[in-house]
A and B are shown apart, each in its own frame.
Chain A
Amino acid sequence: SQKIEQNSEALNIQEGKTATLTCNYTNYSPAYLQWYRQDPGRGPVFLLLIRENEKEKRKERLKVTFDTTLKQSLFHITASQPADSATYLCALVGSDMRFGAGTRLTVKP
């Protein structure tokens, strides 16, 4: 069956460090992969989209990689700040759209 796994439910890092979040999938062939941020009690907010033929995408302090051989996407936040604390969701877009369960990131000052 199709499965999307995001690394550990929670990730704690120190301010200024780089946060790396992982999204692995099985039995799925997404054409696109999107990353969203979700704050408590709010809806997800779109951050970045990467296509299957793209290896890497950047936006300000954010970087996404997409490896269709490994069936994995990595999401990096460089120079992390306490304001980056949130849950980050990956979403795979293929024949349908599926979200992972998310990783809760806490950046400590």
Chain B
Amino acid sequence: DTGVSQNPRHKITKRGQNVTFRCDPISEHNRLYWYRQTLGQGPEFLTYFQNEAQLEKSRLLSDRFSAERPKGSFSTLEIQRTEQGDSAMYLCASSLSAGTGGQSNQPQHFGDGTRLSIL
């Protein structure tokens, strides 16, 4: 299967711990997105990469959150000093884009997410 893969699927941790999630996009996709989704809500944009460059971050993104895509392939999202409010599903998506910035109209292909629970 060549879809978007996210690991782990579930993560339970104590408040104050650091967590890291991984996303492997569809190999030919140059764009990679991270979203957060809570129960009963739609995905909320966090950040996106075009190749290895991080082009946009949400104003809502705390400085405890950092994302990387070092070789323009897989990406990691780290949350430091986790808080109760960080409990959510973290979704990764990838797409193709011909442009060098701005939003793309191309469909996004989502992984099945990492569900984070903070105790």
Name A residues whose Cβ lies closer than 8 Å to a Cβ of B.
Answer: 4, 9, 31-32, 34, 41-46, 49, 51, 89, 91, 93-102
Contact = CB atoms under 8 A, between A and B. Distances in A.
Contacts of B102: 95
B34 interface: no
Contacts of A46: 107-109
Contacts of A4: 42
Contacts of B4: 43
Given A43-B4, A43-B93, A96 B108 contact: no
12 contacts: A9-B40, A43-B110, A51-B105, A93-B103, A93-B104, A95-B102, A96-B56, A97-B45, A98-B42, A101-B41, A102-B41, A102-B42
Contact of B112 (A9, A43, A95): A43
A101 B40 CA distance: 6
Contacts of B40: 9, 101-102
A96 B103 contact: yes
Contacts of B111: 43
A99 B105 contact: no
